Each structure stands twice: as structure tokens, then as C-alpha cells.
Copies of this chain bind each other. A is one copy, B any other.
């Protein structure tokens, strides 16, 4: 009960969104408690009340990403896209928009945290992994929905993992080059792979 009350407390939410924004933009280690208090317009007493340590805030941010994957990420990306394979490319396009809107400084907050934190504590690593697995699972469901367009021997779980690989590797290079080019190239090559998969699937049905 007390958890439910605190989960909707406006001050807690302001701190949570400030942490989400700062960890994504500046990184976890570069974000100070002072940064969080300033961005949230909160006092240190409130911060320590809701999040005794910075890691507690990080865990809450990662839980918010985990719970937000459908309402915050997929629903907006898929609003006008019904085709299951096109939904995958629409999801990738939403990362492109994030890169474009931030001059290629912001891509995937989970990927950044995964590589920034060299030896994350087990609960942090667990939540990073859960976020990746949630993403992969939603993509896998798209692939399952488009199953008849893929060759019979395609493992949809493996292909979904590979699509996350493509997104993360593309975002990393785009951020480093401060240019969308490597991201666009990665998505275009993935498109070519799908084109060949769909063509091979047609061959099987002949």
C-alpha cells in the first residue's frame, strides 16, 4: 500500500523523470545528486526519502523503461503501422528520430547504461537484461506474426536478437560519428537481409 502511494507521489515522479532524463543524456556516473535535485526541483530530504541511494533511483528508472516499453516506445512507433515486419522498421525509425532530434547524442538509454556501467551490481544488470529481453520479445512477436513471409529455417528469437544488435550497433556508431549515416546504413543492410529472406521464403512455397 505504501508503495502504491509513493509510486504516484508527484515529487517522486519528478525525481524519477529527472533521473531518466539525466542518466540518458549525461550518463549515470556524470550525473550528480545536485543535478538531480536541480532538474527535479526537489530537496535532498525528498530524494533520500524516495531513493536512499543513486542506485535506487537507477533501478526505478530501469523499471520505468521496462514497464514503459509498450506505452512509451511501441505504441507511438506503431500507431499507424499494421504490417508486422514494417513495425520492426518503424521501431528502428523511432531510434533514428531520437538521434536526429538530439544531433546524434542520444540513442538508446539502455545500451548506453549497459556499456557505461562496467561492473554493474546484480540488480542493475538484471534490469538492463530484462529491458533487452522485453524489446527482443516484442520484435519476436512481430516476426511470428509475419512468419509465413520468412524461410522455414529462420529462428525468430535469434532474428529478433539480431535486430536489437543492429539497432544498438547502429546507434553506437551514429553517436560516435555524430551522423545518422552508420545507423541508416545498418538499417538498410537489415532491409536487404529481409528482402532476401522474403525472396527465399517465396522460393520455398513455389
Residue ranges of A at the interface with B (Cβ–Cβ < 8 Å): 25-27, 29-30, 105, 111-112, 114-119, 125, 128-129, 132, 154, 158-159, 161-162, 164-170, 172-173, 175-178, 182, 185-186, 188-190, 192-193, 196-197, 200
- Whether A118 touches B114, Cβ cut-off 8 Å, given contacts A169-B166, A177-B132, is no
Beyond contacts A111-B172, A114-B175, A193-B193: 19 other A-B pairs, Cβ-Cβ < 8 A, are: A25-B118, A27-B116, A30-B118, A114-B115, A114-B172, A115-B115, A125-B178, A129-B177, A154-B192, A158-B188, A159-B189, A161-B173, A164-B182, A165-B165, A165-B173, A165-B186, A169-B170, A172-B172, A193-B196
**Contact between A165 and B169, CB atoms less than 8 A apart:** yes
Task: Tell me whether chain A's interface is mostly helix, strand or loop, or mixed.
Answer: helix
Oligomer: number of copies: 2
Q: Which of chain B's residues have a CB closer than 8 A to the CB of A119?
A: 26, 105
